[in-house]
Structures are given as structure tokens and as C-alpha cells.
Amino acid sequence: MNILTFVVNVLSIGIPFSVALLLASTGEMFNQRAGVFNLGCEGIMSMGAFLAFMPAHLLQNTSLAPYANLIGIAAAIAIGALFGLLFALVTVTFRAPQGIAGIGLHMFGWGVAGTLFRYFVGGVTGVPGLKNLPIPLLSRIPIIGPLLFNLNGLAYAAFILVPASWYILFKTPWGLKVRAVGTYPRAADTMGVNVSRTRYQALVAGGMLAGLAGAYLSLGQAKMFADDIVAGRGFIAVALVYFGRWNPYLILGGSLLFSVAQSFQLAIQVLGIRFPYEFAVMLPYVLVIVVLALTPGSVTRGPAELGKPFDREKRV
Amino acid sequence: MKSTYRALYIFAISLAAALAAILLGAVVLEILGKDPLAVYKVILTEPLKDLFGLTEISVRMVPLILVALGIAISFRSGILNIGAEGQIQMGVIAAAAAAIYLPPLPKIVILPLVLVAGALAGAIWASIAGWLKAKLNVSELLSTVMLNYIAAQLYGFLLRGPMIDPAELQVGSGTPQSVRLPKAAWIDRIIPGMRLHYGFVIAIVLAILVYVFLWRTKWGYALRAAGAGPKAARYGGIKVETCLIAAMALAGAFAGLAGAIEVTGLHRRAIEGISSGYGFSGIVVALFGGLHPAGIVPSAFFFGLLLIGADMTQRIMSVPANMVLVLQGAVILSIIAAKMLIADQYLFERFARMLEKRGRKAAGGKTKAGAGKAGAAKVDRRREQP
Amino acid sequence: MNNEPIHSLAVEGITKRFPGILACDSISLDVGEHEILAIVGENGAGKTTLMNILMGLYQPDEGKILINGREVHFRTPVDAYATGIGMVHQHFMLVPNLTVAENVLLGMREFQKFLWQDMEGVRKRIREISERYNLPVQPDAYIWQLSVGEQQRVELVKTLCLGARFLILDEPTSALTPQETDDLIALLKRMSSDLSIIFISHKLAEVTALSDRIAILRQGKVVYRGTTSGQSVSNLASLMTGHEVVLPCNECTGGSGETILEIRNLKVRSDRGFFALDGLSLSLQKGEILGLAGVSGNGQRELADALAGLRKVESGSILFRKKELANKSPRSIIEAGIGYIPEDRNEEGIVPPFNVRDNLILKDFRSKHFCKGPFFRFDETRQNAEELQKRFDIRCASLNVAAGSLSGGNIQKVILARELARKPEVLIAVYPTRGLDMGAEEFIHERLLELRSQGTAILLISEELDELLNLSDRIAVIFKGKILATMPTRETSKKKLGLLMAGISGEGAA
């Protein structure tokens, strides 16, 4: 096997792997830009993955089967929005500490998905999932074509989302408000920006993207559902936001780096180089810690008020 | 007058929070098509009906108390340990290894060594996150979560590889588990025929020691100061970074000890899934117990009850035991929200003024205030320690 | 936007409660067109709260706001701006990582489209305003790149861009040098031909120089309303405080001559990485108060941190009794006998959730006096707290209440009690009376002078020139991390200090 085919192999697994991370961390980026740290991302992804899986599973042999994936994706987005709303209620309205609230939301979402799955489905069953949609002409370009232009719809959407969210964040009034309430909410407040509403909106948007990330996991990647399908990707997504300095392009880079590292270890195993697979599975988690340790701590361009609740009538 | 309002206010918010948590769980049960009241009744009463149920609750209380004590120390010192799950597994591995590989020694020597090995392993594992936080400002929430996943893989690797019971490979089904620990390393059971062991006594004694440590010694003072006012602590000559690492190591030691006690007192060999979510449940127990040992013990009883009750509902009403996670998550969300509302002076004064106005309008408001007192007094006690 | 001119603005019977405080107690005021009304009062008199109500940031518990005689309700600042009222807050309300234009855009609905923003429109508006009032600003500069004076200008431009014809300025001079202050006052006078202005201050000299009419608030109530002309500063001062306050004064001059603390060529970096202290030298004598004057942000914070052992000293030395203290741990500096009153009393001075008793032993909790082995002697800590409570007149419901729930003055007394009880040989006091009422200020000044007479050397870092002139034996001026001059207090004046604080030294100042 030559180097080129090896690289292509690694990338052909790695690029699709990056989509779930990319969607979730872009959502988390909006949360954090608005000043809220949502560790519940993992739990929202569990719920999204489950709800996206269910219609595909139930409608498999009915006349509605062609629409199952769409219904599932819509349900995943809806539950993401709902969980975002719940998290906003707890952390924005009640001003509860965000780290612990995130753990609570994670346990809640993970628990609900697991309970419903075990009750209604029981064991592991596959679903057809999302089909790849090769883009005419472009997908025929050698090497690049199959890598970049033969993906499923959610993956294309995720990559288009990168420039889109950059534009939203830096070039629209809503993005301006999000950045202002995450950095100096009191100033935004005196300018008539409704801090709570903006944070609610950001959390709902972030929740939707996390739900979508979950849908990608069950429909686009694994094509099945299991209790621990998310396996820490939600937490990794949160870490990627730090790594990506709250910037969509850097977050894209981080997602690719992580998933390529993961597919690299898979590819090595395929080559027959033997080492305990547990250490291979560990790799991304170790990588997160290393990356966090090496990321400089200063936040001059990031959201300075990250993690702090805002209380207008608090005296300063 | 004001203290009556205060008590009423705390009571009203605690009640609302409890209802919110119960409701969140009920929504899920309704989706399953189960009667929430019936399910709650089974969870809350069925385990209490016989000695077996009670001892099983106590068995669950041991790791819950230990993990929660560690988490209380870490939270009070300003570092949030989410990594107890992994620390427990490290404790199990170290304790099992010590019991298996140490030369045969009398119980009085080997058992303490085994327990210390477990605690030490948990402490070292947790210190990684503490050190990363103190020196490189890495969020402990993320690093401990990542260390959980890493620990799980390490644990699986050791059980499937180097530490697997040779008998499993030769004649068994290849179940990933260690050999049985030598009897000298066992913690004895208290009641014949029941699984309750003397680890329970260790947990209660440690709860008292943690209280003494945190509130009666200079070390506890330094840790709490580092958590409650890091800037002032620094000006006061306390090395906050050292406190963070120490608090994390202590939290890890408690989790590791919990693992060591589970393996020596209950399973007597290292098996898969031994931590069974105690790391996360411990967070709920600690928060529900007000991060205070006097609250943690009853709170561990309550969540032990939930765990056993959920197992029973799975058998009796076929509600998956994952339901416990749902309830725990809901409890965390509602407790922290309620805590903030209770601490909100502004809201309280509005509440008091509202009551005052109503009291002036209708003179018959007195009996109502009296009714709230009994429940509120209970909540008040938990708030005594700031 | 409503372009109806504002002929008059009035508030009637405004009441606002905060937990434990009646911030505004039935306040009534009015301002006419092209008028400058000064609202003066001590810290905590309710000035800022009243203005935040006028801006729709707080909702009043009672009372109403009238414009041109009609009642209006402001639910958010947008409502206030729409009517033509704008406010420049004491702490600048500018988002540091946004540009000037983006900050302005944040409040301008007409340039916010659904999927894009009309930045060109905003820039045009900014240029119009800055030309009309002669306030030069660069629309595309980031706020964090600007100096304090420039940010002040941006605040004014921003408020005017939003259509304010009625301007509220909350302590606009508090971060400015005396010269910048004069410029601002001249500017506001020019602007008053176009606008109505409410000017909030507790600096009476500025008030008499600028305003047409004056209102004095004390403890949430209006105690005086009238024209400015004919009122003397001392007359206003006694109205403001409610009684004749004669702050204690340092009568004698000069220390013992024995140097106890010597700082040589100190270099310390700021959080942003540049040298905030760039070769600073200073010496402190036994039994003297050395005042350190300067506009905040010139290295005071870093000097205080370095002296407390909380910031790395890159080079130079801090000699205490000839022993090196630079880069020693905070604990060894405390044990050497250096006391410290930190700048941020709520976060750095006390552990807010700890009770008063525990806060009083923050620096001594390890000592044999309070501990037996690792265990606390509770009787000793209680006794200690009771004694100090009496000696320092700490007013709290019980020694078991959280220190964070006390008033600013009482928190400062807790800190003072803890520091003075240790009988320090050197005391570093950073802005010790900032934000306190005059009663507490008087108490703290007395204690500092008492301590000085007992032979303690005190480094007093302050931006209040009156405080420095009253208390110090000598005054040093810090500018950009260096000491520009050190002189005996009797050889200096406000004017001289003002010039030095602006960085003008040597012959020009003489």
C-alpha cells in the first residue's frame, strides 16, 4: 500500500467523523460567545441521536419510510431547542452555576434517551440512515471528489455552516449582540440589548445544532442507536471551542484534526500494527487534555464574561 | 416577622423545586405509558419493606457517601470534580492489584494496605486534573470528564489483559474479571446472609472526620477560603494553587477508597462496570446534602433508596433503571436553581412585601404562615453552614 | 424616533429599594431646556440609582417621570433613548473587543437589518457628530486600543449618535487627570447651548464651575435644591454630609528618618505583558505616611501586588529592614510584618461567605494563638472577634453573619481591624476610602494617623488629592510606572500634583 492511498483512506474516514464534532462545537461556540458555558451538550446529543433514530426505526417498512430521516432530523432539532430552553431557564433566568447545570442536563438527557430506548427498542438494531449524495461532476474529480463531494446531506450542511456562522457572528446585528452580551453584558444592557433574550436565543440555537449533531451520529455515522453512542463527543466539542478560540474556521480545523487523528489510529490497526485497542480508543480523550493544556489561557478576543450570570439590578 | 417570611420563602422555593424535579421525571414516565404516581410509590416504598431492601440501600450508601464527601471537599475548595467515576475505577484496580500481588500477610496488615492503595491511586489520578488546573488553567470539568473515559479504557484493558483471571481464559467464558481476592483482603459482612459490610462503618466515621477536617482545622479553613474567596485567600497568604491540587487529591482519595471498599467488601474481585455510575450519583448526593457531611449521609440514604427502587421498578413495572439518571439530572437542575433563588435577597424582599400587603388586606393570613413552619425548619437546618 | 424637543424633565416621588437599603426615598427634581443641573451627594446617596431609573435600567418602586409635563414609562434604555435621553456611565459602557462603530451600532435599531448591518451608515453618523461637537474619534478602532480619555470621548459620541438631546453624565471626571477634567468642563459648557445636561459628581469645585442649578442628595433624599451661584464649596459640603465634617489632618511633618522599606528599580509586568512598573524607586520611613498620587492605571495596582508578593518582580528589589522581599511568598511577607488593605475590599479583602469571626483571622489562622495542633481554639477566635468588634466599631447583627453581607464601611472596618491587630511595621493601603461615606472615611483616617503615631510606616495609594494632602507627610507621584517626584506635603499643591499626574514634570511644573 502506498502513502497516498493510506492518506486517502485516513481522510475518507476522518472527514465524515468530523461532522458531529463540527456541528456540536459550532453550537457550543454560539453559547459561549453569548457568555454561557453549556456542558450539557453531550446530553442534548444523546437525545438528538435517539429522536432522529426513532422514526427511521419505527417507519422502516411503512409507506412513510422515505420521510423518516427528515422527521427524525426535525425531531432532533426540536428537542435540542427544548433542552437549550431548559438550560437557559436554569442558568439565565435562575442564574444557576453553569458547570454543574451542564452536568445535570447531561445526566438528564442521557438518562431520558437511555430509558426510552431500552423501553421502546431494547437491543441494538440498525437503520438505513442517510444516503450519500454525490454532487454531479465535482464528485468525479480524482481523490478530492470522493473525499469531499460524496457525503450525506447533513455533512454538506455542516460544512456550509462554517462560513455561515462566521458571517452571522461577525456581520449581522444578532451576532454583534451575542458578542456584546458575552463580553460586557452591562454595556449591552445600557444600549438596549436584552441580555437575557439574546442568551436564550443563543442557547436555543446552540441546542438545535447539538441535537443535529446527535442526529448525524445515529443516522449519518453509526446508522444505529446505543446508550453511549455519543461517547464523550459532546464534551470534546466543548473543548474544541476553547481550542478554536471561539472562531468557526478554527473550530472546523480542530474538528478535522481530532477526527483525522482518530481515523489514523483506525487505519494503523487495519495495517496490522498491533497494540491494545483500548489505547487507540483513549487517544482522542488524551488529545483533548493535551490540547487544553497547550492552549494559552488569555481571552482578550473571546467572551470575557463566559460563565457569569447577569443580574441587571445587582449593584456594582 | 421577617424570619417567618424567610422560612416561608425558603419553604415555597424548595417545594417548587421538588415539584419541578418530580414533574420532569413524570413527563418521561407518561411517555412510557406508566402511571408516574405508581412508579414513584414503588421506588420510594418497596425497598423499605424488608431487611434485605434496607441493607441493600446501606450497601449503596457506602460508595455514595464516600464519593460525595470527596466531591464536597472539592466543591468547597473551588474545584469541581466530575471525575469520581474514573477515580473509583483506579481505586478498584490498585486495591485489587495490591490484594492479589502482595505476599500473604495477616488481615490486619493487608486490608489497610489494600484500602490505602486504592485511595492513593484515586488521589494520583485526580491530581492530574488538579495539577492541570493549578498550573495550566485547564478547566477541571473537561479534564476530569476526559480522565473518566481514559480510566474506563485503562480499566477494561487491565481486566481483559494483564489482570484477567487465568481460569477465565482456560475454562471460562473469557469474562473480563480478575481472580478472587485472597480472603485476608476481604472486609467482613455485618449481618449473615446480607451483603452489608463494615465499609458502612468506615463511611460514617469518615463523614464525621470530614466535618472536623473542614470546619475545625486550619487545613480545612485554608481549603474553604481558597474556594469561597480565592483572591482574598491569596492576599491572606494561602497558596490557592496548592489548595486546588490538595482538594482534588483528597476528592480522588475518597473516590479511590470507595472503589477499594466496593471490591474488598462487596464483589471481592475486580469486575466490569464496578463503578456503576457512583461517580455521577455522588455529585447529586453531595449537592442534595448541601455539601455538608451532616446532609450527605441522609442524602446518600435517599439516593440509595432511589437506586434500589429503580432496580425494583425495572423488575416489577419494567421501567428501565436508567430512570435513575433522569431523576438525578432533574434533581441537580432544580436544586441549583432553587439555591440561587433562595440566595436572591431582592426576590425575597419582594416576596416579603407581597406577603405583607396581603397580610394587611386579609387579617386571616396567620394560620397559613404557621403551616409552612414545620417544613421550612427542616430546610433551614441545611443552610446553617454557608 | 421621536424628535419632539425636551423642554422639561421632571421626576416626582421616586422611591427605589434594594435589599436592606432605601436607595431613593421619594425624590423629586426637575431640569429645563439648555440647563445644567448638578446632582451632588456622597457615595451611596442614591445619585446613580436615580439616573439608572431615568434610563429605564431600574424600575422605580414608586413615583413617576414626566417629560414636558406628560408621564412616561421607560421599560428599557431603548425607551429612554427614543425620547432623547442618553447617559454616560461612570464605568464606561463600551464592549472592549468591539470597534467604536460596532459599539454605536449596538444601540441603533435603524442601522440593524435582519441579515446585515449598515456599517457605512453608522460611520457617517459618527463622523457627523464628531465634527459637530469637535470630538475626534476613529470609528474602526477597537475600544481596548483606546486610552481612558479617548474612551470618554467615544462614550459621548455614542450617546449623541443615539439621538440624546438630554445628557446624563455620571461622575465623568473620576478617571481623568485635572487637566483633562478642565477640558471636559469647557466642552460641556459649549454643548449646553445645544443640550440639557445632568451632571453627577461629588467633587464640588467642578460642580460650582459648571452647573446652573444644583440638587443635593443625602441618604436617598433631596436635601437642597437651588441655583448654583452664590453657593460656596464649604457650604455645599456641609449640606452634602449633613454636618460639619472636619476630616482629621496630619499636623506634624516628616518621619523619624529611619528608612524601613526601600524599593529600588522595580520592574514588574502588567497582565497584558508590558512593564507596568518600569524602574520604580521609593523609600518609606518609620512613622510617616507616604502618599502615592497618580491617575489609576499608572502602575499602582502592580506596585501593590508586587509588595504583597502576588506579582512576579522581573528585576529590582524590595528591601524591608535590609532584607529582600521581592518574589517572596505572600505568607512570608505577611509574617515579616507588612500589612495590606487591598483595592477591592469585597473580593480581595474578605472571603465574602465566611463570617466576620473567620474573616478576622484570615492572616493568623495558623498561629499558635488560634490553633492547637491543627485544631482551632474556638474560644480564642471568638474573643478575638469580640474585642476587635468593639475596638473598631464593626456594626453587624452577629459575628456569625457572612462578611459579604455587611455594608462597604463595615467591611473596610473588618479589614482594618484584622490588619491593625497584627501591629504591622509597614502598612500598604490601596484606595482605603473609595466609595465610603464621610463618616467611615473619617474613622479610617483617624485610625491611619493613630497607627502612624505609633511608628508604623504607611504607603497610602489614592487618587483623591484631598485625602493625600490631608494625611501624608510626603507625596510621591507615579506616572507610567515611574516615580516622577517625591516631595514633602507642605511644599506641594493640588495644581502641582495635577501637572505631575499628567506626566508634566520638572521645570514646566514649577
Angle at A255 between CA A254 and CA A258, to 5 degrees: 85
Nearest to C106 among A188, A301, A304 (CB): A188
Is some CB atom of chain B closer than 8 A to the CB atom of C305? no
* Nearest CB neighbour to C77, from listed A171, A177, A191: A191
C504 lies in the same domain as C482: yes
Q: Do A192 and C77 touch (CB under 8 A)?
A: yes
Residues 278 to 307 of A: which have CB under 8 A from any B CB? 278-279, 281-282, 285-286, 288-289, 292-293, 297
Q: Are residues C166 and C194 in the same domain?
A: yes
pTM, to two decimals? 0.90
- My answer on whether C399 and C449 are in the same domain is no
Domain-located, residue C253: no
The residues, any chain, with a CB within 8 Å of residue C150's CB and separated by 6 or more, are C137
Tens digit of pLDDT for each residue in C328-340?
999 999 999 999 9
C344 to chain B, closest Cα gap in Å: 9
DSSP letters spanning chain A: --HHHHHHHHHHHHHHHHHHHHHHHHHHHHHHHTT---TTHHHHHHHHHHHHHHHHHHTTTSTTHHHHHHHHHHHHHHHHHHHHHHHHIIIIIS---HHHHHHHHHHHHHHHHHHHHHHHT-S--B---PPEEEPTTGGGSTTHHHHHSEEEHHHHHHHHHHHHHHHHHHHSHHHHHHHHHHH-HHHHHHTT--HHHHHHHHHHHHHHHHHHHHHIIIIIISSB--TTSSTTHHHHHHHHHHHTTT-HHHHHHHHHHHHHHHHHHHHHHHHT----HHHHHHHHHHHHHHHHHHS----SSS-TTTT----TT---
Mean pLDDT of C199-203: 83
B59-318 is classed CATH 1.10.3470: yes
Q: pLDDT at residue B198 above 70?
A: yes
Chain B residue closest to A119 (CA)?
Answer: B320
Q: Helix or strand or coil: residue C367?
A: coil
Q: How many domains does chain A have?
A: 1
**How confident is the model over B284-289, as a mean pLDDT?**
95
Confidence band of C509 (pLDDT split at 50, 70, 90): very low
**Which of A116, A285, A306, A315 to mutate against chain B (most B CBs within 10 Å)?**
A285
Query: Average of pLDDT values for C103-107?
Result: 93
Q: List the single residue in B with minimal CA-CA distance to A104.
A: B329
pLDDT band, very low/low/confident/very high, at A316 (cuts 50, 70, 90): very low
Distance, in Å, from the CA atom of C49 to the CA atom of C39, rounded to the nearest integer, reads 12
* 3-state SS assignment for residue C354: coil
**Residue of C57, C95, C171 best to disrupt the A interface, most CBs of A under 10 A:** C95
Q: Which residues of A touch C94 (CB under 8 A)?
A: 184, 187
Residue C28 has φ and ψ, to the nearest 5°, of -125, 135
**pLDDT, greater one: B384 or A211:** A211
On the question of pLDDT at B370 being above 60, the answer is: no
Q: Is the pLDDT of residue B230 over 90?
A: yes
Best to test chain B binding among C307, C348, C379, C398 (most B CBs inside 10 Å): C348
The cell for B320 is 428501565
CA distance B162 to chain C (A): 43
Nearest to C267 by CA among C321, C320, C306, C309: C306
Q: Of the residues C365, C383, C418, which one is the last residue of a structural domain?
A: C418
pLDDT greater than 70 at residue B375: no
From chain C, pick out residues whose CB is under 8 angstroms from the CB of B218. Answer: 365-366, 371, 374, 376
Range of the domain at A197: 3-122+151-294
List the one residue out of C458, C463, C471 whose CA is nearest residue C497. Answer: C463
DSSP letter at C402 equals B
What pLDDT score does B344 carry? 82
Which helix (DSSP H) or strand (DSSP E) does residue C385 occupy?
A: helix C378-392
CA–CA dist C22, A64 (Å, integer): 65
Write out the DSSP string of C16-38: EEETTEEEEEEEEEEEETT-EEE
Return the beta strands (E) in C321-413 as ranges.
Answer: 323-324, 338-341, 371-372, 375-376
- Whether residues C350 and B348 touch (CB distance < 8 A) is answered with no
Q: Do residues C227 and C291 share a domain? A: no
**Nearest beta carbon to residue A187 from set C18, C93, C162:** C93
Q: Which of A262-266, B135-139, B175-179, C375-379 bottoms out in mean pLDDT, i.e. has the lowest?
A: A262-266
Question: Distance, in angstroms, between C385 CA and closest chain A CA?
Answer: 28
Lowest mean pLDDT across A193-202, B261-270, C147-156: C147-156
Using a CB-CB cut-off of 8 Å, the residues of chain A touching C144 are 300
For residue B113, the tally of other CB atoms under 10 A from its CB is: 15
Domain membership of residue C281 (yes or no) is yes
Pairing, β C213-218 against β C196-201: unpaired
* pLDDT for res C507: 46
Report the pLDDT value the prediction gives residue C508, as an integer from 0 to 100: 43
Predicted-complex ipTM score:
0.91
Are both C148 and C293 inside the same structural domain? no
* pLDDT for the residue C65: 93
Task: Please state which of the ranges A237-241, B210-214, B273-277, C456-460 shows the lowest mean pLDDT.
Answer: B273-277
Q: Side chain identity at A200, as an amino acid letter?
A: Y
> Distance between CA atoms of B84 and B281, rounded to whole angstroms?
10
CATH of the domain at C76: 3.40.50.300
Give pLDDT tens digits for A199-242.
Answer: 999 999 999 999 999 999 999 999 999 989 999 999 999 999 98
pLDDT of C80 strictly over 80: yes
Q: In whole angstroms, what is the distance from residue C29 CA to residue C17 CA?
A: 18
* Averaged pLDDT, C101-130: 92
How high does pLDDT run on average in chain A? 91
pLDDT of residue B367: 42
Tell me phi and psi for residue C85, to 5 degrees. Answer: -100, 135
* pLDDT of B183: 93
A97, A281, A288: residue with CB nearest B336:
A97
Arithmetic mean of pLDDT, A28-34: 96
Interchain proximity C365–B222, CB inside 8 Å: yes
Q: What is the dihedral angle through the alpha carbons of B54, B57, B59, B62, rounded to the nearest 10 degrees?
A: -130
Cα gap A32→C398, rounded to integer Å: 41
pLDDT at position C247, please?
A: 67
Output A176 or C43, whichever has higher pLDDT: A176
Domain that holds residue C76: 8-241
Cα separation, B353 vs A298, in Å, equals 45
| Chain C residue with the nearest C-alpha to that of A191 | C107
Residue pointed to by grid coordinates 489562622: C365
Last residue of a domain, one of C364, C386, C418: C418
pLDDT confidence band for C243 (50 / 70 / 90):
low
Using CA atoms, how far residue A266 sits from A261, A270, A290, B189, in Å, is 9, 6, 20, 47
Is A80 a member of any domain? yes
What are the CB-based long-range contacts (under 8 Å, 24+) for C71-79? C76/A192, C76/A194, C77/A189, C77/A190, C77/A191, C77/A192, C77/C107, C78/A192, C78/C107, C78/C109
Burial of A45 (0-12, 13-18, 19+ CB in 10 A): buried
Same domain, C44 and C141: yes
pLDDT given at position A146: 84
Whole-angstrom distance, CA of residue C108 vs CA of residue C100: 13
**pLDDT surpassing 70 at residue A298:** no
Percent of chain B past pLDDT 70, that is, above it, reads 93
Which ranges in chain B are annotated with CATH 1.10.3470?
Answer: 59-318
Please choose, from the candidates A254, C221, C391, A314, the residue with its C-alpha nearest in 3D space to the C-alpha of residue B347.
A314
pLDDT at residue number C245: 61
- For residues C117 and C185, membership in a common domain is answered with yes
Cβ-based neighbour number of residue C166 at 10 Å = 21
Measured in angstroms, the CA of A15 and the nearest CA of chain B are apart by 23
Number of folded domains that form chain C? 3
- Higher-confidence position of C389 and A143: C389
Q: Rg of chain A over CA atoms, in angstroms?
A: 20
- Do C305 and C397 lie in one domain? The reply is no
Both C293 and C221 in one domain: the answer is no
pLDDT band of residue C134 (cuts 50, 70, 90) is confident
3-state secondary structure chain B: CHHHHHHHHHHHHHHHHHHHHHHHHHHHHHHHCCCHHHHHHHHHHHHHHCHHHHHHHHHHHHHHHHHHHHHHHHHHCCCCCCCHHHHHHHHHHHHHHHHHHCCCCCHHHHHHHHHHHHHHHHHHHHHHHHHHHHHHCCCHHHHHHHHHHHHHHHHHHHHHCCCCCHHHHHCCCCCCCCCCCCHHHCCCECCCCCCCECHHHHHHHHHHHHHHHHHHEHHHHHHHHHHHCHHHHHHCCCCHHHHHHHHHHHHHHHHHHHHHHHHHHHHCCCCCCCCCCHHHHHHHHHHHCCCCHHHHHHHHHHHHHHHHHHHHHHHHHCCCCCHHHHHHHHHHHHHHHHHHHHHCHHHHHHHHHHHHHHHHHCHHHHHHHHHHHHHHHHHHHHCCCC
Cβ atoms of B47 and B305 closer than 8 Å:
yes
Contact C364, B218 (CB under 8 A): no
The per-residue pLDDT for range A115-165, each reduced to its tens digit, is 999 999 988 889 998 999 998 888 888 888 888 888 999 999 999 999 999
The DSSP secondary-structure symbol of C142 reads: B
Per the CB < 8 Å rule, is C351 touching B229? yes
Contact C351 B235 (CB under 8 A): no
Domain end residue (candidates: C418, C441, C472): C418
- Give which of C336, C356, C475 is closest to C405, Cα–Cα: C356
CATH code (residue A12): 1.10.3470
Question: What's the confidence (pLDDT) of residue A300?
Answer: 44
Interface partners of chain A (CB pairs < 8 Å, 3 or more) are B, C
Residues C401 and C471 in one domain: no
How, if at all, do strands C371-372 and C457-461 pair? Answer: unpaired
Q: Is the pLDDT of residue A29 over 60?
A: yes
Supply B116's cell numbers.
490505602
**What is the pLDDT, as a whole number, of residue A255?**
95
> Is residue A127, in this structure, part of any structural domain at all?
no
**Residue A43 to residues A290, B321, C97, Cα–Cα distance (Å):** 24, 17, 32
* Residue C294 contacts residue C463 (beta carbons within 8 Å): yes
User: Which of A292-296, C410-414, C449-453 is predicted least confidently?
Assistant: A292-296
Q: Sorting pLDDT into bands at 50, 70 and 90, what band is C429?
A: very high
